[in-house]
Structure 1
Amino acid sequence: MPLTWLLDRFRAHADDDAIVWRDEITRYGELLERVENATAFLQSQGVRSGQVVMLDADFSPNAIALLLAAMQNRNIIVPVASHVTADRDKYARLAEVSHRLSVHVDDSFGCIAEPGVEPTHEMFRQLNAAGSPGLILFSSGSTGEPKGAVHSLDFLLNKFKVSRHTQRMITFLLFDHIGGFNTMMYTLANHGCVITLESRDAATVCRAVEKYRAEVLPASPTFLNLLLVSGEYAKHDLSSLKIINYATEVMPAATLERLNAAFPGVTFRQSYGMTELGIMRTQSRGNDSTWIRVGGEDYQTRVVDSILHIKAKSSMLGYLNAPSPFDAEGWFNTQDEVEVDGEWLKFKGRKSDIINVGGEKVYPAEVETVILEVDNIADATVTKEAHPMLGHIVVADVTLHAEESLPSVIKRIRQHCFSKLPPYKIPVKIRLSDASARVSERFKKQRNEPR
């Protein structure tokens, strides 16, 4: 069976904490029972091996149990985070979903069957022929049609069979995110504790770290900056934290410097992964450095015209509703532009985020880092605005620590930028805004959305 190795580990650590949810602790012995109950529920609903099921949930004990039961049943699973805005009908239609599973607010199971729907897509036939469960992760679709990345769970789960460190982890990244899936599976595979969140604001995260002695916090740079701005980290005992992993977007050097000052003794690690490739092993050059090594035994990397390309054993099979992005040799163009220093890489930004000013390239994260060096600036989000002659101009939305007049802010920002940046990178427009105004529900900066 696909998860025999994992369930055996649960049995060996039956009395260890497995999940914290709403201030209640589920131990591994109880989680095993929940997986058995979830398996019985799937059988009662007529869910057969090989069918595609949608799971609308978050990281509750029964949601995790139902996900594991569906894996064990060799289903192809479409997770959707329960509080995320998504076109579930479109996902179900594209993925040929036969059963819409859900876990209600009281952690009870729900199911709506779609009679007569069976998997016909070639990749589904491929998974079923191999007897492998599958995972479909949809992109948000913020810049176009959402694409469904189809994974073989046999490939994705293989790396978790190697035992590693036991850790108490916060599940900050979402239930339907490759990073959230990775956090959950790593923790369970190493009999750690999955510490769930009722909401993902700074105060709730800090309370969870303090109360349940979390050791690892995976988060986005945007959230970590909001954590600094909120001041909540200083109101709680976060001494249990050993590691803060950051990923999903470029980390401004100025923010990383502030984080090191706020969390002395904590190791900061830059992670890297993509929906299409899975999460890779990385090594940071230093605690205060944004240079990393990317790879591991299952990954190959190369840089072509400053763009990172990756070949991975855990790559998706393909997109459900789009052409394959892999070249003839299996390389994937990440669209991430990087600087190279021997084996070390420094991420500058996605090609889609680059601002073209009169033919010159501007990386938002570079400008944000310079602005964050200015006194009284708590946060900065750099975007673009159309210009009839230049193509685009650079626009900056900034948040202040303390009240200050806009003309004074503009003057100080521009003076500092002129000392650090060429003229075409300096913001033409500077506006005051709330730090959370351009943050998506997945805690990433929104650069292409209207203000």
Structure 2
Amino acid sequence: MLIKDIVLRQRGNNKTAIIFGNETISYDQLLDQASILANRLKPLTTFSNHIAIFLPNSIQYAVSYFAITLCDKVIIPISTLAKKAEIESTLIYCQAELIITNFSNLNILKEMLSGMEQATRIVIVDSDEIILINDKKMLQYNNDDLKYDDESDQIAIMLHTSGTTSNPKRVMLSHRNLISNINSNIESLQLNSDDISLVQLPMFFGYCNTAQFLTHLCLGGTIVILHTMFSPKQFLQLVEKEQITNFTTVPSVLFLLLQHKEKQRFDISSLRYICFGGGIMPVDKLRKLIDEFPSIGFVHTYGQTEAAPRVTCLLPEDALRKIGSVGKALPNVSVKIVNHNGEEVAAEVIGEIIVKGENVMKGYYKQIGETSKVLQDGWLYTGDLAKYDQDQYIYLVGRKKNVIISGGMNIYPEEIEEVLLQYPLIKEAIVIKESHELLGEVPIAKIVIHGDKKDIKNIQHDINKYCHMNLTRFKVPARIIIVENLNKTKTGKIKRF
């Protein structure tokens, strides 16, 4: 099965596929509009197999996404929050000379692309206009090295992962990778065509791309795209109005939901699951969520873009019994925790998570060396550290590269962050390493606090005292820095570096 088959097999289906504010589109209309756009794109795609999308979450994004798949081309999503240097480096690196946007973003994009090294065509999804930026010769790219004998192994999408403007990194996910993860997700959560999923995460984010966007359209379900910034009240209203059955988000959004005072005013009985991942979820806050929303099943998930992305989940029936765990592997996904020799570790021993399955990426685009570091004998070495309990449930410990080695002791920043986030005054926290003459490295905490920041010295003193009460001495941050805000990625994760 190919990604384009998700819409092709829905021909003639008048069921609502996507709701976005006051706009709706049926499956048949989605296929029709995607086909019209695909016919516009085909004569323009003789130079490269890669087509970029520069659109926010919207029905237009979905139409553009499937138009590219109907052309048998590779999707290159670019955030509308991206800056000029990011957009230029992505288009050049990914060899994409065609980019789809709408009238609302056209002027911004034209300004961003002015003076670019290569000619670029902008296709406007809500008009027949095509604009050529820079009157330069179109380059002929050879993407033969990405061609595979089996259609399912052809690259469907290249998603952004850790990298810089000067050294981008894109994960190549094939049709097989995506379809495999879709099927694992459906089987794990027992989803069906009656499900209605609320999308709040960016649609270019791997988590949303597979687990919500593609999964629910593959099922013939309905997607409701949040058309404004998230607010707890609006979320609850939307669940009630649209009879939402599942929602996927990051922990920071759920923290906002906890703070809402009028939860009981809304009928949210339709909401079966809230899936979350991509950040630290303090156990006390999760207990409170489960207590305050007893009718909702909270699903703690773990994944990586390189795994298309979902790898494990802790289902609601285990949410309290195994609280803090990310559960076990999804169906048709294999997971091990191994030591530095690649040997599986015993219970309670920390090792690296490795993953195997049809969901695992083909590799990093144009990064053979980087690919060989993480793909070994069919296993994806995630760089994430974890341990099993006696029942083989997985508990994340931290990122391999984040480990702080202080006086020979391994310190995992995520452990300290979880303790900090349980302090009532702390809104957000990040723990980083700092060089130390004697110990080599020590942990430093940067925090954002609620309310008045006038008495900073006393606040720092109280937090330091709290840390000494709740952390082993060598794990206590050497310094606590109160800041106005913390830098975040486009998907809302706090930037560690």
TM-score norm. by structure 1 comes to: 0.86
Instruction: Please say if residues 355 and 362 of structure 1, whose CA atoms lie closer than 8 Å, have aligned partners that are also in contact.
Output: yes
- Aligned pair partner of 2:251 in 221, 241, 253: 221
Is 2:197 aligned against 1:152? no
Structure 1 CA distance, aligned partners of 2:265 and 2:54? Answer: 32
Contact map agreement 1:149 1:320 (CA 8 A) in 2:
yes
Q: Which residue pairs with 1:335 in the alignment? A: 383
* Deviation for aligned residue 1:442: 1.4
Structure 1 residues 270-326: Cα deviation after superposition (integer angstroms, max 9, x where no partner): 222212121335341622412133424432222112111112212222111322234
Structure 2 equivalent of residue 290 of structure 1:
324
Change (3 A) 1:403 1:93: closer
Instruction: Compare 258-267 and 129-138 and name the one that shifted more.
Output: 129-138
Residue 188 of structure 1 and its aligned partner are, at CA, apart by 0.8
- Give the whole-Å Cα distance in 2 for the aligned partners of 1:328 and 1:122: 24
- Equivalences for 1:371-450 in 2 at 5 Å? 371-403=420-452, 405-434=455-484, 436-448=485-497
212 and 83 in structure 1: CA distance in 2 versus 1, 3 angstrom threshold: farther
In 1, the alpha carbon distance for the partners of 2:492 and 2:265 equals 22
- Local SS of the residue matching 2:25: strand
Report deviation, 1:49.
10
Please list, as runs of the form range in 1=range in 2, the aligned pairs for 1:46-445 lying within 5 A after superposition.
Answer: 46-47=44-45, 51-85=49-83, 87-105=86-104, 108=126, 111=130, 116-126=138-148, 132=154, 134-141=156-163, 145-158=167-180, 160=182, 164-166=191-193, 167-182=195-210, 183-202=212-231, 205=235, 208-228=238-258, 231=260, 234=263, 237=266, 239=268, 240-280=270-310, 282-284=312-314, 286-288=318-320, 289-305=323-339, 306-322=351-367, 323=369, 324=371, 325-341=373-389, 342-403=391-452, 405-434=455-484, 436-445=485-494
Corresponding letter in the other structure for 1:321: K
Instruction: Say which SS state the counterpart of residue 187 (structure 1) adopts.
Output: helix
What percent identity do the matched residue pairs reach?
Answer: 20
Larger deviation: 338-347 or 146-155?
146-155
Range with greater deviation from structure 2 (178-187 or 357-366): 357-366
Deviation per CA, 1:383-403: give whole Å up to 9, x if none: 333333333332333444554
Q: Is the 8 A contact 1:385 1:395 kept in 2?
A: yes
CA offset digits 1:131-189 (Å, max 9, x no partner): 84521112252598221212222442255469742322222222222112111001111
Q: Report how far residue 211 of structure 1 moved.
A: 4.2
CA contact (8 A) 1:50 1:128 kept: no
SS of the residue corresponding to residue 284 of structure 2 reads helix
Question: Offset of 1:20 from its aligned partner?
Answer: 1.6
- Change in 2 beyond 3 A, CA 1:184/1:407: same
1:371 partner letter: L
Q: How many residues in Structure 1 have an aligned counterpart in Structure 2?
A: 444
SS of 1:126's partner is: coil
Amino acid at match of 2:7: L
Contact 2:388 2:395 in 1 (8 A): yes
What do the CA deviations read for 1:233-256 (whole angstroms, capped 9, x no partner)?
A: 749736143211111233232332
Change (3 A) 1:5 1:281: same
Counterpart secondary structure, 1:292: coil
Correspondence for 2:7:
7
How far apart, in 2, do the equivalents of 1:143 and 1:65 lie?
28
Task: State the Cα distance separating 1:18 from its structure 2 match.
Answer: 1.5
What do you get for the CA RMSD once the two structures are aligned? 3.2
Greater shift, 308-317 or 181-190, is seen at 308-317
Deviations 1:9-63 (A, max 9, x none): 534641x3211223322222322322222223223x5335972111212332222
Is contact 1:97-1:117 (8 Å) kept?
no
Aligned-partner Cα distance in 1 for 2:27–2:353: 40
Q: What are the Cα deviations for residues 51-102 of structure 1, in whole angstroms up to 9, with x where unaligned?
A: 2111212332222112112112211121112234471221121222132222
What is the distance in 2 between the residues matched to 1:236 and 1:116? 58
- Residue 333 of structure 1 and its aligned partner are, at CA, apart by 0.9
Distance 2:6 2:402 in 1: 40
Given that residues 206 and 233 in structure 1 are in contact (C-alpha distance below 8 angstroms), is that contact kept between their aligned partners in structure 2?
Answer: no
Using the alignment, how far apart are the partners of 1:373 and 1:84 within structure 2?
33
Distance of 2:337 and 2:76 partners within structure 1: 32
Pairwise CA distance, 1:334: 0.3
Between the aligned partners of 1:9 and 1:130, the Cα distance in structure 2 is: 16
Counterpart CA distance in 1 for 2:444 and 2:474 is 11
Change (3 A) 1:205 1:41: farther
1:49 and 1:236 map into 2 onto residues whose CA distance is: 56
Q: Taking structure 2 as the reference length, what is the TM-score of the superposition?
A: 0.79
- How many angstroms does 1:4 deviate by? 6.5
* DSSP 3-state at the match of 2:54: strand
- More deviation, 82-91/179-188: 82-91
Distance in 1 of aligned mates of 2:69 and 2:462: 56
In 2, distance between residues paired with 1:76 and 1:407?
53
Structure 1 position 339, deviation (Å): 1.4
Q: Is the 1:161–1:189 contact (alpha carbons within 8 Å) kept by the matching residues of 2?
A: no
* Secondary structure, aligned partner of 1:81: coil
Q: Would the aligned equivalents of 1:376 and 1:401 in 2 still touch at CA under 8 Å? A: yes
What letter corresponds to residue 324 of structure 2 in structure 1?
Answer: T
Gaps of 5+ in 2: 106-124, 340-350
Q: Tell me, in whole angstroms, the C-alpha distance in 2 between the residues paired with 1:226 and 1:440.
A: 19
